[in-house]
A and B are shown apart, each in its own frame.
Chain A
Amino acid sequence: NAGVTQTPKFRVLKTGQSMTLLCAQDMNHEYMYWYRQDPGMGLRLIHYSVGEGTTAKGEVPDGYNVSRLKKQNFLLGLESAAPSQTSVYFCASSYGGGYGYTFGSGTRLTVV
């Protein structure tokens, strides 16, 4: 009963490098989300998905892409990392409408 699992937990990238963050959930949730958390800014929604094969933009989508090829997985990609993307990234899943929201433990990304 893992809930929401994020990998990796930590990563350091050089400016311009690319990477993919993986989120996996085992609760059969339809909805999945990617947030970033910066000091004093709370959590801001990057992208979300309302079901397998669907994605939508959130509040701060620029510089990121996502894919939801399987219901249980939601991938967040950075094609060309920038220092402004240094942050802690959280994945979450839910039944929809905020119900049953469950967060992963986060990925701390540093872009140098």
Chain B
Amino acid sequence: GESVGLHLPTLSVQEGDNSIINCAYSNSASDYFIWYKQESGKGPQFIIDIRSNMDKRQGQRVTVLLNKTVKHLSLQIAATQPGDSAVYFCAETWSADGLTFGKGTHLIIQP
């Protein structure tokens, strides 16, 4: 079974609006989480990460929120642009062995 998943396979937003992509994880031992962006024909690219001792972290136009009580992770993208169109994956890890990925949410930007 999979321990990390995203609530929606597709999310459509208007250009300029804020986007919120959600992810639920099931392993309470996970201590590090990452959001990746994957554009068509390319490998996943790191966006932002957060450790389990934090509940919020901000980057440039992106914010990750972690709610350990309900095992929920979200990625917020401010002022969504056409270049944000991609598939977004959350990933978790609880050991040195590697990351476990969710299935991904395809973010579609409407003009």
Q: Which residues of A contact B (CB under 8 A)?
A: 4, 31, 33, 35, 40-45, 48, 50, 56, 58, 90, 94, 96-99, 101-106
Bound-state Cα–Cα, A33 to B34, Å: 16
Besides the contacts A31-B96, A42-B101, A106-B43, what 15 more A-B pairs have beta carbons closer than 8 Å?
A4-B43, A40-B103, A42-B2, A43-B101, A50-B96, A50-B97, A58-B98, A90-B43, A90-B44, A97-B95, A98-B34, A98-B93, A98-B98, A103-B43, A103-B45
8 contacts between A and B (CB under 8 A): A42-B89, A45-B100, A98-B32, A98-B91, A101-B34, A101-B46, A102-B46, A105-B43
Q: How many residues of B contact A (CB 8 A)?
A: 23
B96 in contact with A97 (CB, 8 Å): yes
Residues of B within 8 A of A50 (CB): 96-97
Bound-state Cα–Cα, A43 to B100, Å: 8
B44 in contact with A43 (CB, 8 Å): yes
Residues of B within 8 A of A44 (CB): 101
